[in-house]
Amino acid sequence: MAEDWTSIRGGVTTPLGFRASAVDCGIKDPDKRRLDLALITSDTPVVAAATFTTNRVKAAPIRVSAEHLRHDEVQAIIANSGNANACTGPQGIKDAKQMAKSVAKALNLRQRQVMVCSTGMIGLPMPMDRIDPMIPKLVEGLAPTKVAGTDVAAAIMTSDTRSKEVAVKFKLGGKEVRIGACAKGAGMIDPNMATMLSFVTTDAELSKAELKRATTRAVEKSFNRITIDGDMSTNDTVIVFANGASGAAKIKSGSNEAEVFTKALTYVLIKLAKLLVSDGERVTKFVDICVRGASSYHHARMVAEAVAKSSLCKCSWNGEDANWGRIMDAVGYSGARIREELIDIYFDGVAATRNGMAAGTPVSKLRAVVKKQAFTINIDLHLGEANYNVFTSDLSPEYVEFNRSEYSMWKRAQGDTEQPAAE
């Protein structure tokens, strides 16, 4: 089936009626000049949908944004990197509200019209003395330009090595509409959202219910299917803003237009999800684990997630070793219904395992697949019709090295050499 949309260069400012801005407050690093505070606004109130972390330890901005989302007329998102504002208690809630309040004041909005997001180190007080004075400058800088969107994508980065933007355009009832988005990821990446933020804008017009439905469906096929290190974060947020500025007719529930919009949104989020995995902390491989022939969707998912999270499988991919025995092991402990003697495993279509045993393929052919930067592992359980896939990565010695001491990485960000995070 041909796609109904066209990929274009751009991000959150690509759809009509959106502006963006980013500044450097010294949250990430007081010495280096790096953008770390971002603002996205719509010229008019939007219909908004959001998905938040399912972690029961929730960062303060998650609590504040979930509350603001209940009201209509949301119009702006403020986001910082370098500090997660998580495990910060009542002061954290106060700080998150203050961020919304300062933005609202400068934009002549109400506080509840502003969504708040944070990402970075857990357990540190927010450096409000650095953030608050910069908000007027942040608002002054608002622009509908492509570069303003790109600045936002850069400002939300933490351990990401590159910024991530995706945009598409497509026709709805003869009118052109656009979806633009950015995301950050890198660490604490696991299904059901991870230390990831993604902001999506569109100039299509939808009801709140329709936007929520499309967002839920798109997130389920994208951000909920990625795992890097199996750690789900306290701050994950996907926010979608629709302002109707394209002039296209309002999308009706169940219509062909609703289907086209949902598919385009899903495409955008899958593309971002793949970019997150590829840019995971010290990742060298992008691996698509595709399970088919499971007796149910739930069992297919259990198998895909067990393999995607197995330290031993991930180590073997890092070593470019097509170790199917470890995959069999993970399939076995996944909890899913399986019959060992029915399982086939393929690396990019090359059979490694047939009927639960070595397939007899020359090892050089299998190694050639695992040497590639990206490959697919198909696991066929031959029990039923259900399938599921997870995008994942290898586990590298460098990942462990990188995560041995967050303290040493971040202490300078606090201008504090002796009293860091865990204080």
For the bound state, the minimum distance from the C-beta of residue 367 to a second copy, rounded and expressed in Å, comes to: 9
Q: Which 58-117 residues touch a second copy, going by CB under 8 A?
A: 58, 84, 86-89
Rounded CA gap, 241 and 253, in Å? 18
Q: Does 294 bind a second copy (CB under 8 A)?
A: no
Q: Which 112-141 residues touch a second copy, going by CB under 8 A?
A: 121-123
Candidate residues 199, 324, 346, 388; the one interacting with a second copy per rule CB under 8 A: 324
Q: Which 175-204 residues touch a second copy, going by CB under 8 A?
A: 187-188, 190
Candidate residues 3, 312, 371, 415; the one interacting with a second copy per rule CB under 8 A: 312
* Residue (207 or 361) nearer to a second copy, CB: 361
Q: Does 309 bind a second copy (CB under 8 A)?
A: yes
Q: Does 318 bind a second copy (CB under 8 A)?
A: yes
Q: Does 328 bind a second copy (CB under 8 A)?
A: yes
**Tokens of residue 387, six digits:** 């399938």
CA atoms within 13 A of residue 270's CA, in its CB half-sphere: 15
* Residue (33 or 298) nearer to a second copy, CB: 298
Using the Cα atoms of residue 58, residue 64, residue 65 and residue 68 in order, give the sign of their dihedral.
positive
Candidate residues 80, 113, 278, 316; the one interacting with a second copy per rule CB under 8 A: 316
Cα→Cα distances 418→99, 130, 423, Å: 28, 20, 9
Label residue 154 left, alpha or beta by phi (over 0 means left) and psi (-120 to 50 means alpha): alpha
For the bound state, the minimum distance from the C-beta of residue 295 to a second copy, rounded and expressed in Å, comes to: 13
Cβ–Cβ under 8 Å, residues 33 and 23: no
Q: Does 323 bind a second copy (CB under 8 A)?
A: yes
Q: What strand order describes the sheet that includes 286-294?
A: 226-227, 386-393, 286-294, 374-380, 344-347, 350-354, 357-358
| Residue of 88, 195, 237, 353 marked active site | 195
Residue carrying the six token digits 């002054």: 140
Q: Which 354-383 residues touch a second copy, going by CB under 8 A?
A: 355-358, 360-364, 366
Using DSSP, state whether 200 is helix, strand or coil: strand
Catalytic residues: 195
